[in-house]
Amino acid sequence: MFSLSDRNKQWIKGLGFLLSLVAVGFVATRFVQYWEELELSGLGAIDWIALAGLGLVYALISVFLGLAWWKMLLHLKPESEVEDDAVISPFWAVYAYGYSQIGKYLPGNVLHFAGRHVLGMAAGYRHARLIYSTILELALLLVSGLLLTLLLLPVLGLHHGLAALAYALVFVLVYVGLKLRSSIHLSHALALHSLFLLLTGILFVLVLALIDPAFDWSLRSAMLILAAYVLAWLIGMLTPGAPAGLGIREVVLLFLLGPIVNQSELLLAILLSRVVSLTGDLLFFAAAVIVKPKLLAGRWVHD
C-alpha cells in the first residue's frame, strides 16, 4: 500500500501552512482595500449581543461533532471486546472533543486530532480504533459537506426547490445505504455531521443578514450562501497545515460569493463569522474544562 514518508508529510503540512499564510495575506489586502467601507462602527450593542448569541449557538451545535465521534467509536468496537476497553459514554466523548478541539487553531491543523487521541488512549481506547475513528470522521465530514453542495445546483439553472429535494433524497439514500451496508452508528454520525454543517451555514447566513439591511431573504439566495459556506469550510478543514482553515475558507468564500454579495459586506461577514466560530469553540472548551473534574471523579464515564 502506498504511504507517505514522515518527511513528505512534513512537506505537505508545510505547504498547507504556506498556502494558509498566502491566503491570509490576500484577505488582509482586501480588508485594507475596503476598510473605509467596513461599517464596524455601525454595529450597535444589540448587534454584538446577537453575535455573542450566535457564538453560543455554535458552541451548542459543536456537541453534534462530539456525538458523531462517539458513534464512530461505537461502530469500531469489536464484538469480542471485554470489560478492559469498556464503552465510553456520550458525555465523555463530547468532553474529549470539546477539550481537544481548540487545538485546531494551532499551526498544523492536526493537533486537535492528536489531543483527542491522547485523551482516548488515557480512557482505555485502543490506538487502532482511535486512528480509524479519525479517518472515518474526515470521510463522513467530506460526504456530508459534498451532499450539501447539491444546494448550489440553482446556479446551473435548477429550481431551488428541486435542489433541496435532490439533497434530501440523496441524503436519505446515503443514510440508508450506510445503515444497511455498515451500521446504524455510521448513519447517525452522518446525520449529526450534516446537521452541524447545515446549522453552521445558517449561522453564516444570519451573520450576513445582520450586517446587510438589504439582504435578499429569498430561499434561493439563502441556500446558495449556505452551501458556499459549507464548501469553503470543507476546503479549509481538508487543507493540511492551515490552522482551522484560516485564510483558505475566507478566500474560497470571496471567490464563490464575490459575484453576488457586496464586497465590503461580504468581508465584514467573513470576519464576524470567524469571531462567532472562535467564540463558540472557546465556550465549548470552557464547558469541557468545567465538567472535567466530574469525569475524573468517575462520573459520566461508562454507560
Residues 6+ apart with CB under 8 A from 147: 167, 170, 171, 174, 194
Comparing 46 with 240, the larger pLDDT belongs to: 46
C-alpha closest to that of 149 among 172, 130, 166? 166
Predicted confidence (pLDDT) at residue 148 exceeds the cutoff of 50 = yes
Predicted confidence (pLDDT) at residue 231 exceeds the cutoff of 80 = yes
Predicted confidence (pLDDT) at residue 182 exceeds the cutoff of 80 = yes
131 alpha carbon, distance to own chain's centre: 19
Q: What is the pLDDT of residue 109?
A: 64
The mean predicted confidence, pLDDT, of the chain is 79
Backbone angles phi, psi at 5, to 5 degrees: -75, 165
For cell 504511504, the residue is 3
Predicted confidence (pLDDT) at residue 180 exceeds the cutoff of 70 = yes
Q: What is the mean pLDDT of residues 250-265?
A: 81
pLDDT digits (tens, 9 = 90+) for 2-51: 444 555 445 544 444 454 455 445 445 644 544 444 555 566 788 789 98
Helix ranges (DSSP H) in 34-106: 45-61, 63-75, 90-101
Beta bridge partners of 241: 108
Burial tier of 31 (Cβ tally within 10 Å: 0-12, 13-18, 19+): middle
Model-level pTM? 0.82
